[in-house]
Amino acid sequence: LVPRMQGFGTTIFAEMSALAVATGSINLGQGFPDTDGPPKMLETAVEAIRSGGNQYPPGPGLPELREAVAAQRLERYGLEFDPATEVFVTVGATEGIAASVLALTGPGDEVIVFEPYYDSYAATIALAGAVRRPVTLRPVEGRFTFDPDELRAAVGPRTRAVLVNSPHNPAGTVFTREELEVIAGVCREHDLIAITDEVYEYLTFDDTEHIPLATLDGMRERTVSISSTGKTFSVTGWKTGWVTAPAPYIRAVQTVKQFVTYATGGPWQRATAYALRNELPWVAELRTSLQAKRDRLITGLEAAGFTAYRPQGTYFVQADIRPLGYTDGMELAKALPDKAGVVAIPTQVFYDHAEAGAPFVRFAFCKKDEVIDEAVERLANLR
Ligand code: PMP
Ligand code: GLN
């Protein structure tokens, strides 16, 4: 293994899911739903396979999906993108993020990330030979947020890009317009590229609205936005994502992607195009159901003695373990299968400043009610 990838080991999601299988525990670790996406969308993928849609799709993606993405960005956010030159299909958001970082940052460049950050960011920045500059999200009145001065102080002469995930995994924060204005201001002032991870764009709760950074003044021309099918339509195994950005950025991303995967699975693209046009009412129901699951899990975690942070978006809850007398989330997450028959994710693996994340473990609530109930019943014996 090359030096720049030393230390990355196995992803925490694979590690903890394997632990769940090995111990027969309830898996509230890796975020994947235990119910399927909309039936007609699944049928569309099957039909695409049966009707011969099984050879290489165009590298940038099927035109029907690029058009559906352009229509979705326009209708939902008022953002206009040319499907031919400004929309690009990738193997999940993961490849979209990796290809963007690899195409747009290089040795010596610095990339600002908000910690805790999704694990692929650190690895991808390392692959690019760039350096990550973490800005820490801390709980303020029950919600994880950042200090604008800390963000401004993280910018230096080598800063090239800011990677922004909202709704944020694992913190559950959906950045407000005010927070986004601070980020946008820094990008404009220092001429930075923004790379946005919006995979939870539909999974927001209460009256929280997801605002794409690209909609802010002066941001469309410097923002590379990424989303995907997995979370919105409960098909995390489909690995179909997209990038929307000005054409020169898309060309850069394409240069990388064509030599990594060349193209993205055709049947999933056809089904995703169908779903973006026809299944958003299904997603609205998913969101309502997830909000109830969020509250169900939080009630259970609080009864078990955790301090739980109510997320504005995503399907994860941050739980502070200190009221239960624990201080090290990694230690507790490793012991949890034996202690309680439940698997969670130790949040500290998503931090450079591990001490800031040590008191937290992350629980997923994209599960059947009876699974959540059984898990919290087991956790009630932790005290
Ligand atoms: N970003 C975040 C914040 C995620 O939680 C995930 C997991 N779905 C991804 C990116 C990866 O998305 P995909 O499965 O589409 O590659
Ligand atoms: N996004 C999922 C999570 O945060 C994990 C995806 C993966 O396993 N890479 O749990």
Closest listed residue to residue 331, CA positions, set 348, 308, 319, 350: 348
Taking only the tens place, the pLDDT of each residue in 77-125 is 999 999 999 999 999 999 999 999 999 999 999 999 999 999 999 999 9
**Could you tell me whether strands 345-346 and 360-364 are parallel, antiparallel, or unpaired per DSSP bridges?**
antiparallel
Cβ atoms of residues 226 and 88 within 8 Å: no
Regarding the beta carbon of 31 and ligand 2, being less than 6 Å apart is answered yes
Which of 118, 163, 365 to mutate to test ligand 1, by most ligand atoms within 8 A of the CB atom? 118
pLDDT digits (tens, 9 = 90+) for 202-224: 999 999 999 999 999 999 999 99
Residue at 299 is within a domain = yes
Q: Which of 234, 249, 278 is the C-terminal boundary of a domain?
A: 278
The protein residue whose alpha carbon is closest to atom 7 in ligand 2 is 13
Pick from 11, 13, 350 the residue to mutate for probing ligand 2's pocket: most ligand atoms within 8 Å of its CB.
13
3-state secondary structure of 288: helix
CA–centroid distance, residue 170 to ligand 2 (Å): 10
Asked if 259 and 286 sit in the same domain, the reply is no
**CATH code, 270:** 3.40.640.10
Would residue 47 count as lying in a domain?
no
For residues 238 and 188, membership in a common domain is answered with yes
Q: How far is the CA of 352 from the centre of ligand 1 (A)?
A: 20
Please answer whether residues 246 and 220 qualify as being in contact, where contact means their C-beta atoms are separated by less than 8 angstroms.
Answer: yes
Do 76 and 237 touch, CB atoms closer than 8 A? no
Measured between alpha carbons, how far is 253 from 98 in angstroms, rounded to an integer?
A: 9
48 domain-assigned: no
CA 235–ligand 1 middle distance (angstroms): 11
Can you give the pLDDT at residue 383? 81
Domain closes at, from 278, 313, 343:
278
Would you say the CB of residue 169 lies under 6 angstroms from ligand 2? yes
Are 304 and 235 members of one domain? no
Q: Which residue out of 12, 236, 362, 365 has the highest number of ligand 2 atoms within 8 Å of its CB and is therefore the one to mutate?
A: 236
**End of a domain among 229, 248, 278?**
278
ipTM greater than 0.95: yes
Q: Say what the pLDDT of residue 93 is.
A: 98
Q: Are residues 330 and 267 in the same domain?
A: no
* 30 and 101 housed in the same domain: no
Give the count of domains, the chain: 2
Q: How many CB atoms lie within 10 A of CB 123?
A: 16
62/174 same-domain check: yes
**Residue 13 Cβ < 6 Å to ligand 2:** yes
CATH number at residue 357: 3.90.1150.10
Task: Tell me, letter by letter, the H, E, C secondary structure of 226-253.
Answer: EEEHHHHCCCHHHCCEEEECCHHHHHHH
Cα of 248 to ligand 2 centre, how many Å?
30
pLDDT at 52: 96
The low-confidence residues of the chain, meaning pLDDT below 50, are none
Q: Which domain holds residue 147?
A: 55-278
Question: Which bound ligand lies closest to the C-alpha atom of 195?
Answer: 1
Segment 134-168, tens digit of pLDDT: 999 999 999 999 999 999 999 999 999 999 999 99
Ligand 2 centroid–CA 236 distance in Å is 9
Spatial strand order in the sheet of 345-346 = 307-309, 316-320, 360-364, 345-346
Identify whether 49 is part of a domain.
no
- Whether residues 190 and 238 fall in one domain: yes
155 and 104 assigned to the same domain: yes
Instruction: Give Cβ neighbours of residue 292 (< 8 Å, ≥ 6 apart).
Output: none
Residue 220, pLDDT score: 98
